[in-house]
Amino acid sequence: MAPYAMEHMHFQSWADVAPRLVAVAAGRAPADTVIRKGQWVNVHTREILPDHDIAIAAGRIAYVGPDASHCTGPDTEVIEANGRFMIPGLCDGHMHIESGMLTPAEFARAVIPHGTTTMFTDPHEIANVLGLEGVRMMHDEALMQPINIFTQMPSCAPSAPGLETTGYEIGPDDVSAAMGWPGIIGLGEMMNFPGVINGSQQMLAEIAATQNAGKTVGGHYASPDLGIPFHAYAAGGPADDHEGTCEADAIARVRQGMRMMMRLGSAWYDVETQITAITEKGLDPRNFILCTDDCHSGTLVNDGHMNRVVRHAIECGCDPVVALQMATINTATHFGVERDLGSIAPGRRADVILTSDLKTLPIEHVIARGKTVAQDGKGLVDCPHYDWPAHARQTVNMGRDRTAADFEIHAPEGATKVTANVIGVVENQAPTKALTADLPVENGVVCGDIETDIAQIALVERHRATGGVVNGFVSGFGYKGRMAMASTVAHDSHHMIVVGTDHENMALAANRLGKVGGGVTVFKDGQEIALIELPIAGLMSDAPATEVAAKADNMVQAMEACGCTLNNAYMQHSLLALVVIPELRISDLGLVDVTKFEMTDVIKAAE
């Protein structure tokens, strides 16, 4: 690794610089930076204290008080707050960088102007494609950044053993090895909740390795059943969960000592339905955390990141300082780093935002580790790139080109109509519905029905060039005419998902992604009308976020041109292979009934 990267990876601890901080606070040495005359938002006490100063030295806070003139020397940088609120840098408690279609460097560049200074990331997307090596590359680039990016070691690759095939697998030995890496903060979301509930030795061994290392176990309980199975899962050790969608889910988790992570991502709108546990039921907010989970580049560039989530929580009736606690100190406490970050207090990393309004939360000045990194929406700092090797850019291995015939679903001999299982997309939520529909048969091939909003879905194997294609049906996108959309982002196995109304267009879309090395494409009437190239693992681009976002915006317009008006429908598309969230999904092994964690047939009956 380059010396510059190593320099960014090493940030001195409180213990390392305590003598300097004491000297500055005592007035014996000058601060590097002083922020003058702001309103100190104290997330420890839930107070707003006017006319306070902050003195910063060695990237950490040395003093917070009414007057820092004794800390100010001739070379001290003075930042005038002019009565603005001084709040801690925002923390994202659960998210996947790959969902932004960006590398860690470009993701950081995109979110720094929005006030995000700390992220707790789970790179399980790349783990499914490149294994432990891919996780290490994400981890190493994360440590190169001028903000705090902690890595959770992925726990589930595959997410549901026996129901899908991934490019690589992660096991207890990998987890144990990763716990010694400098940027590993804990275990990523334990998606195999049936495994934990049923006492899987592998899942419990991964949890044990994390707990024995004194680190935090991430949870993922994607079931509405809050009875015995939920209690068994909680007993296994997961310390948080972000899969709740209603107030009862939130209450159940915090009552069992788990942290409830309420998410607002590009397509997940779960804050409004759960925050009533605080605003109406009056539960203690310290066990609630705000997060994004998945945000694509268009959301990051156009709408924001954690600032968007905090604003939304406030709009839902949450007290602004409570909302800030759930995006700062609560998150830091959960991961055991509250003595290092998450608040404006002595010894903590000097991650500070200046804003003129706590409700609308304009991000006017961002300081990370004591340095100004953004002002008025513009990033002012370099975000170094990792040197991704060639094999990380050559991960779409389809073998031969696909033809229209690969996407045909053949009916039983002599059938004129069939009853089929259909994946039903739910707008703004991760779960799907298990639907059924009567579909016509033409020349022995089952047809979708755009009049009743039933398109075809296919999963194309792309890790080992097996030539495999699994076909099924999906409803909810509203597609019309002859079209197809394909993506190599297909959580979590990340094969290729193709949704379309026409077999020829589906073949064209699949083959196009094979040629460009991964990404997202939309075809209409035989012509490509949108393309996002994602060459790194078929998941990410190292181009600037603004460029990727522009292509993502074009993709949204292309989907609309094909009849789709769902909010952030791309996120729904990318999750159609996520075989750990009910009710119905598709994998390289077939159609999966996630309520039972078993395979099911596409065709239920024929006439």
Give the model's pLDDT for residue 9: 55
Among 99, 154, 105, 149, smallest CA distance to 132 is for 154
422 to 369, 406, 451: CA distances (angstroms) = 50, 19, 15
- The mean per-residue pLDDT over the stretch 81-90 comes to 98
Asked whether the predicted pLDDT for residue 4 surpasses 60, the reply is no
Question: For residue 324, what are the contacts with CB-CB under 8 A and spacing of at least 6?
Answer: 41, 43, 87, 88, 310, 358
Give the model's pLDDT for residue 5: 40
With bands split at pLDDT 50, 70 and 90, how would you rate the model's confidence at 2?
A: very low
Domains and CATH numbers, the chain: 122-241 (3.20.20.140), 391-600 (no CATH)
Asked whether the predicted pLDDT for residue 137 surpasses 60, the reply is yes
With bands split at pLDDT 50, 70 and 90, how would you rate the model's confidence at 589?
A: very high
Give the model's pLDDT for residue 319: 98
- The mean per-residue pLDDT over the stretch 395-405 comes to 96
The phi and psi torsions of 411 (rounded to 5 degrees) equal -80, 160
Give the model's pLDDT for residue 10: 73
pLDDT, tens only, 321-363 = 999 999 999 999 999 999 999 999 999 999 999 999 999 999 9
Give the model's pLDDT for residue 558: 98
pLDDT, tens only, 156-183 = 888 888 999 999 999 999 999 999 999 9
The dihedral through the CA atoms of 480, 486, 490, 496 has a sign that is positive
The phi and psi torsions of 236 (rounded to 5 degrees) equal -75, -20
Half-sphere exposure of 113 (CA within 13 A, CB side): 17
User: Mean pLDDT lowest for which of 16-20, 329-333, 601-605?
Assistant: 601-605
- The mean per-residue pLDDT over the stretch 512-538 comes to 98
pLDDT, tens only, 279-319 = 999 999 999 999 999 898 888 998 999 999 999 999 999 99
What the block records as the tokens of 292 is: 């994004």
The answer to whether 182 and 9 have CB atoms below 8 angstroms apart is yes
121 to 55, 169, 195, 339, 353: CA distances (angstroms) = 30, 19, 23, 20, 22
With bands split at pLDDT 50, 70 and 90, how would you rate the model's confidence at 3?
A: very low
Asked whether the predicted pLDDT for residue 82 surpasses 80, the reply is yes
Between these two residues, 428 and 503, which has the higher pLDDT value? 503
